[in-house]
Chain A
Amino acid sequence: MRKTLLYVIFLCLVSSGILKGQDTRIDFVEYTLDNGLHVILHQDNTTPVVGVTMMYHVGSKNEAPDRTGFAHFFEHLMFEGTKNIKRGEFDRYVEGAGGTLNAYTSQDVTYYFVLLPSNQLELGLWLESERLLHASVDSTGIATQKDVVTEEMKQVRDNPPYGRLLIETVSRAFTDHPYQWDVLGREDHIRNAEDHKFHEFHKRFYVPQNVVLTIAGDIDTEKAKKLVNKYFADIPAGTEEIYRPPASEPVRKHEVRDTVFDNVQLPLVLQAYHIPEIGGEDYYAVDMLASLLSRGQSSRLHRSLVDEQQIAMAVQAMPLALEHPGLAIIFALPNLGTGPDVLEKAINEELEKARNELISEFEMEKLRNQMENNFVNSNTTIASRANNLATYHLLLGDANRINTEIDNYMKVTREDILRAANQYFREDNRVVLYFLPETEK
């Protein structure tokens, strides 16, 4: 993220939706312009606010191995100005109009959003069309953002305790797929990149057919369509092939186990299991299994490790929701005096149980209630609805999942969860890492 990178690991990126049978269906219209730009419009006039958002289908997985961090770095550059917007003015236009703005980059997408008072819709469209059509970054801007991104790497990844959790995990979990590097990428790749490389990146990925424009909030759908046409219809389609890596990671056959020494005080145990992609058939069962393990204080890992054995301070299990097959990560922080091996053994015992025994009807009902509650609460703001519509369209090819995704969870059976536990949460399908204090070296 230009301003704050969303570290997927710390967010429970369970996708959102709205309850079946409720009158809270989210209505929207969608269409595609001749140049390939996909447009989603969601009208909700409750609050005089409009969100204008662009989700580009480019993330760190579209990068070359010797150019890691480009997608995220590019996100920073997109705030530097355009042909018609001077350096530093982008923020001023939005904030001066009473709006706010930000962006994030993930492994799969780059997302820009502007929230404005609804009378400023056209300003939002002008700004985003400028980004798409006229991005122009001078060498001063590039040099400054190289410094800023370097500081971001330190602040969120290299300096804080456990900041390197994700990169140390993916670099071992993926051997072939570009998920093996993190979104921030390597400092030297960014430092050494020549200015023209960034222009090439824009030309390839920042084209109408590689982005979805989502407008949500206090709009008149018909008027909004006209304005979208005005600012976007004449932007030429891109001519280069858009690089999309294959979902190439080979099936893991052996456990990988390693120790990382870091500037931390307490050891941390982490297991990462290869799981299906978001929307994949077993994804929902895996997600519910993760909830079974660690959502709420009555969850299995929390109860066993934190409450009963009292060996852990905290424990968490979560799937990374990625476009290609990703990881489910389980990690635990011990109480003082407990070794990482003790923690890992306790985690393994719970997984063993999940592989051997069908979960109870009671637990299944609990999981359904949790999922339902989560859905209702994850779609309450204009900003979250815009983000979810765009994500569903880009990654699952169907924006209407915002209304129907809950069904996929409700279909999951106890047997599905048992099967998922056996198929994915296996020893030979995982990476195990111990993060130890440097002093224990």
Chain B
Amino acid sequence: MLKITFITLALVILQLPINAQLDRSVPPQPGPPPVIQIGDYETFTTKNGIRVIVVENRTVPVVSFQITLDIDRVLEKEAKGYVSMAGELMKTGTENRSKREIDEETDFLGASISTHSRGMFGSSLTRHKKPLLELMSDILLNPTFPEEELERSLRQSRSALSTVRTDAGSMVDNISSALLFGKDHPYGEIVTEETLDNITIEKCRDYYETYFRPNVSYMVIVGDTDVKEAQTLVEKYFGDWKPAEVPGHKYQKPAPPEGIRVAFAERPGAVQSLISVTYPVDLSPGHPDAISTSIMNNILGGGIFSGRLMQNLREDKGYTYGARSSISTYRLSGRFNARTEVRNSVTDSTIAEILYEMERLRSEPVDDETLDLTRNFMTGSFARSLESPRTVANFALNIERYGLPDDYYATYLERLNTVSSEKIKKMAEKHLLPDNTYIIVAGNREVAETLEKFSPTGEVEFFDPFGRPLDLKDQEIPEGVTAENIIEKYIDASGGRQLLEKMEDLTVEMEASTQGMSIQTLTHRKAPDKYYFSMSMGGNILQEQIFDGNKGIIKTPQGEMMLGDEEIEKMKLQFMLNPELYFDEMGLEVELDGIETVDGKNAYRIFIKSQTGIERTDYFDTETGLRLRTVATQESPMGGITQTTTFSDYRTINTFKYPFKIIEQAGPQSITMEVIEIRMNTGLENEIFKIE
């Protein structure tokens, strides 16, 4: 007895200092692992064929009803968009209610109801479940598809579509769909303005009539109810839904590309590139490889910060805010996608690292620590997901829809934790294809050239924001077209050689507003190369540039600087009035380099170069012959800055054509100038160009 007391006392005494001197240098040990329990669900089938799944959960006074159609995807062809439109329009009018009434009643309950092309969802407080179901039933069984609602919806869709051009994410999504699946596959169809024009209310109604049938439907009921009540409710509100035969559709399985294909979409002014390394994978839900490829993907770049892409591109190199990869399994095809956004200058390095990490998983076995970490993470995620009763419902739905074994989820953790390092490597060899992938980038045009090295053919394919190829490189230069006759065509388009040669001087006043302030510029040119330029704000001159034919000067309120001979040579084209007349005499080399799209127009790209340091690329409209853009590199203390000048809104003054809108872009800055006034042959005095 005494002994025991003594020992207990000793333990107490010992314990105090141990607590006080907590060793913070070692992580604490976990307790015994908790039991992970998957909740129960019940199922039944109604007389008209709805498969109902019920998950009872009384923790909050909320109940939800989800209807999912188990149907094949439909090819929409020239009217792409009508299927999702049909889903959207169901909620805009029934035989008993206008859209206004539906909205009013839904909101009054504080409920939410949504409809889509393959089902609907509704949720409310338990005490509102009957009016909720009354509404849902009316929407599902009696939609009228009002013509005016289609018009309204199309107007919104067109507006939304117009934003795609500035949204890198949509661009990359569109190009992925087009490349991975193609137009003959339902995953590859893309909504454009043209396909919206072909959507009719008949198509929408027909889709609804054909596919919204109880015999192909699941209804998932989750929350504050039980199976008995569910039976009564479903019978009462959806018992009149008429079954009918629903057609099925089959599609070819998409395959990864033969080698690497590089695709690019321009997003003007972008300061980051959106990169996607992606290809279709032969994986569908419940595929025997699904769990092991999921582990493999988590190691590469799944939802964890310890993932290799995240560690490499973010924590090691600081290229990006985040980098992720996914291997998704859909019924018609799986898909691998590694995606990140990085600053322009590291676009190519980032792609190289993504391909490297993919290759590394194929060639090196994964170490045990990484494998353990990943399996633990996935076990934890699985456990956490069970907090939501909806998870159990989804498990049940997947088992039914995809024909998975009944114990698929019950044995998930067991199977997860037996996947070995060898198996991961095998999966990587099979499903990670760094040599057979699309590399899709949306970003600044300057990035495109740096991507050529990834393509075995050196080719970067250009796409518009809707995934349509632009065929820049493939556009052949028509026979007989040379740099010289493009320049001549430009001279003709501007008003003709005769007019330009007779021109003695030209004065252009322009205005731009930036940050709420307006800037004025004044340019005088006198043949052949006298030049005066000033920029002012609120009457105060910010800068002047003058060239008198021999000497040049730049003046600012801070001081003056004479131009050196070298600078003068480089700026010569800028000083001259109609320099195109004299390219020959000046000994300029002009080279026709190819055809490219500038603001949606095809343009000849002409490279202009001289011994004296002039270097410029001009783009001339293949149709009108007018100049659309010039690109030159300016030296600056921060290195070379690409200066892009874009010309548009050409107007005719007498017979002379001049662009009234000029956008100057240097680095990330851009300023739009508009011509206020233009004067020709006003007999400008030499005095104007005098340098003291």
Q: Which residues of A contact B (CB under 8 A)?
A: 3-4, 19, 22, 24, 46-49, 79, 83-84, 88, 91-93, 95-101, 115-123, 125-126, 129-130, 133-134, 143-152, 154-156, 158-161, 218, 230-231, 234, 258-259, 263-266, 295-299, 303, 306-307, 310, 313, 333-336, 362, 365-366, 369-374, 376-377, 379-382, 438-439, 441
- Determine how close the nearest CB of chain A comes to the CB of B141; give it in whole angstroms: 21
Decide: A146 and B318 in contact? CB cutoff 8 A: yes
Known: A336-B159, A380-B60. A310 touches B152 (CB 8 A): yes
Decide: A95 and B379 in contact? CB cutoff 8 A: no
Q: What are 7 inter-chain pairs, A to B, with CB distance below 8 A?
A: A97-B380, A152-B321, A154-B272, A159-B341, A263-B268, A366-B110, A373-B109
Q: Which residues of A contact B381 (CB under 8 A)?
A: 98, 100
- Determine how close the nearest CB of chain B comes to the CB of A322; give it in whole angstroms: 25
A137 to B386, CA, bound (A): 36
Chain A CB within 8 A of B383 CB = yes
Known: A98-B383, A154-B272. A48 touches B107 (CB 8 A): no
7 smallest CB-CB distances across A and B, nearest first, come from: A98-B380, A147-B318, A48-B34, A373-B110, A369-B110, A296-B107, A441-B672
Q: Which residue of A lies closest to B304 (CB)?
A: A95
Decide: B318 and A266 in contact? CB cutoff 8 A: no
17 further A-B pairs in the complex, CB-CB below 8 A; given A148-B315, A335-B159: A48-B383, A92-B373, A96-B306, A96-B369, A98-B383, A121-B31, A123-B28, A129-B24, A234-B20, A265-B166, A297-B106, A299-B107, A313-B159, A336-B155, A438-B269, A438-B670, A441-B513
Pick the interface stretch among B97-105, B184-192, B616-624: B97-105
Decide: B321 and A155 in contact? CB cutoff 8 A: yes
Q: Which residues of B contact A296 (CB under 8 A)?
A: 103, 106-107
Q: Which residues of A contact B168 (CB under 8 A)?
A: 159-160
Decide: A92 and B341 in contact? CB cutoff 8 A: no
Interface majority SS on B: helix, strand, loop or mixed? Answer: mixed
A263 to B166, CA, bound (A): 7
Q: Which residues of B from 313 to 329 have beta carbons under 8 Å from A?
A: 314-322
Q: Which residue of A lies closest to B269 (CB)?
A: A263
**Which bucket holds chain B's interface residue count?**
35 or more
User: B29-63 toward A: CB 8 Å interface, digit per residue (1/0)?
Assistant: 11111111000000000000000000000011110
Decide: A160 and B343 in contact? CB cutoff 8 A: no
Partner pick for A336 among B34, B162, B672, CB 8 A cutoff: B162
Q: Which residue of B lies closest to A124 (CB)?
A: B28
Q: Which residue of B lies closest to A262 (CB)?
A: B166
Chain A CB within 8 A of B68 CB = no
Known: A120-B30, A154-B271, A298-B104. A47 touches B110 (CB 8 A): no
Chain A CB within 8 A of B111 CB = yes
Decide: A441 and B512 in contact? CB cutoff 8 A: yes
Q: Which residue of B lies closest to A306 (CB)?
A: B156
Known: A95-B373, A151-B321. A117 touches B28 (CB 8 A): no
Known: A117-B34, A218-B34, A380-B60. A307 touches B159 (CB 8 A): no
Q: Which residues of B contact A298 (CB under 8 A)?
A: 100, 103-104, 106-108
Decide: A303 and B100 in contact? CB cutoff 8 A: yes
Chain A CB within 8 A of B388 CB = yes
- Determine how close the nearest CB of chain B comes to the CB of A45; give it in whole angstroms: 10
Partner pick for A376 among B125, B156, B304, B319, CB 8 A cutoff: B125
Q: Which residue of A lies closest to B20 (CB)?
A: A234
A95 to B304, CA, bound (A): 7
Decide: A98 and B269 in contact? CB cutoff 8 A: no
Q: Which residue of B lies closest to A51 (CB)?
A: B384
- Determine how close the nearest CB of chain B comes to the CB of A366; give it in whole angstroms: 5
Q: Which residue of B lies closest to A4 (CB)?
A: B322
Q: Which residue of A lies closest to B374 (CB)?
A: A95
A299 to B103, CA, bound (A): 9
Decide: A119 and B156 in contact? CB cutoff 8 A: no
Q: Which residues of B from 121 to 156 have beta carbons under 8 Å from A?
A: 124-125, 128, 152, 155-156
Partner pick for B306 among A49, A84, A92, CB 8 A cutoff: A92
Interface centre among B20, B31, B111, B319 (most CB of A within 10 A): B31
A357 to B271, CA, bound (A): 48
Q: Which residues of B contact A152 (CB under 8 A)?
A: 321
Q: Which residues of B contact A24 (CB under 8 A)?
A: 59-61
Q: Which residue of A lies closest to B152 (CB)?
A: A310
Partner pick for A49 among B61, B107, B316, B387, CB 8 A cutoff: B387
Known: A373-B125, A377-B62. A130 touches B107 (CB 8 A): no
Chain A CB within 8 A of B270 CB = yes
A158 to B270, CA, bound (A): 9
Known: A152-B321, A234-B20, A335-B159. A370 touches B107 (CB 8 A): yes
A441 to B670, CA, bound (A): 10
Q: Which residues of A contact B163 (CB under 8 A)?
A: 161, 264-266
Q: Which residues of B from 160 to 179 have beta carbons under 8 Å from A?
A: 160, 162-168
A130 to B26, CA, bound (A): 11
Q: Which residues of B from 271 to 310 have beta carbons under 8 Å from A?
A: 271-272, 303-306
Q: Which residues of A contact B33 (CB under 8 A)?
A: 117, 119
Q: Which residues of B from 419 to 453 have beta carbons under 8 Å from A?
A: none
A46 to B62, CA, bound (A): 17
Interface centre among A46, A48, A115, A133 (most CB of B within 10 A): A48
Q: Which residues of B contact A150 (CB under 8 A)?
A: 343
Q: Which residue of A lies closest to B376 (CB)?
A: A98
- Determine how close the nearest CB of chain B comes to the CB of A210; give it in whole angstroms: 21
Decide: A334 and B159 in contact? CB cutoff 8 A: yes
Decide: B99 and A307 in contact? CB cutoff 8 A: yes
Decide: A161 and B166 in contact? CB cutoff 8 A: yes
Decide: B319 and A88 in contact? CB cutoff 8 A: no
Partner pick for A47 among B109, B160, B383, CB 8 A cutoff: B383
Chain A CB within 8 A of B19 CB = yes
- Determine how close the nearest CB of chain B comes to the CB of A387; give it in whole angstroms: 15
Decide: B159 and A266 in contact? CB cutoff 8 A: yes
Decide: A126 and B24 in contact? CB cutoff 8 A: yes
Chain A CB within 8 A of B557 CB = no
User: B84-120 toward A: CB 8 Å interface, digit per residue (1/0)?
Assistant: 0000000000000001100110111111000000000
Decide: A307 and B380 in contact? CB cutoff 8 A: no
Q: Which residues of B contact A149 (CB under 8 A)?
A: 321
Partner pick for B387 among A117, A120, A382, CB 8 A cutoff: A382
Q: Which residues of B contact A159 (CB under 8 A)?
A: 168, 270-272, 341
Decide: A230 and B166 in contact? CB cutoff 8 A: no
A129 to B24, CA, bound (A): 9
A160 to B158, CA, bound (A): 20
- Determine how close the nearest CB of chain B comes to the CB of A116; give it in whole angstroms: 7
Partner pick for B27 among A93, A160, A372, A380, CB 8 A cutoff: A93
Q: Which residues of B contact A122 (CB under 8 A)?
A: 28-31
Decide: A116 and B108 in contact? CB cutoff 8 A: no
A125 to B27, CA, bound (A): 10
A151 to B314, CA, bound (A): 10
Partner pick for A154 among B106, B109, B165, B343, CB 8 A cutoff: B343
Decide: A123 and B271 in contact? CB cutoff 8 A: no
Chain A CB within 8 A of B372 CB = yes
Q: Which residues of B contact A19 (CB under 8 A)?
A: 61
Decide: B34 and A369 in contact? CB cutoff 8 A: no
Decide: B672 and A155 in contact? CB cutoff 8 A: no
Q: Which residues of A contact B512 (CB under 8 A)?
A: 441
Decide: A48 and B35 in contact? CB cutoff 8 A: yes
A122 to B30, CA, bound (A): 7
Decide: A91 and B305 in contact? CB cutoff 8 A: yes
Q: Which residues of B contact A362 (CB under 8 A)?
A: 108
Q: Which residues of A contact B610 (CB under 8 A)?
A: none
Decide: A46 and B59 in contact? CB cutoff 8 A: yes
Decide: B376 and A373 in contact? CB cutoff 8 A: no
Chain A CB within 8 A of B516 CB = yes
Q: Which residues of B contact A382 (CB under 8 A)?
A: 387
- Determine how close the nearest CB of chain A comes to the CB of B283; give it in whole angstroms: 24
Q: Which residues of A contact B165 (CB under 8 A)?
A: 265
Decide: A258 and B516 in contact? CB cutoff 8 A: yes
Q: Which residues of A contact B106 (CB under 8 A)?
A: 296-298
Q: Which residues of A contact B670 (CB under 8 A)?
A: 438
Decide: A438 and B672 in contact? CB cutoff 8 A: yes
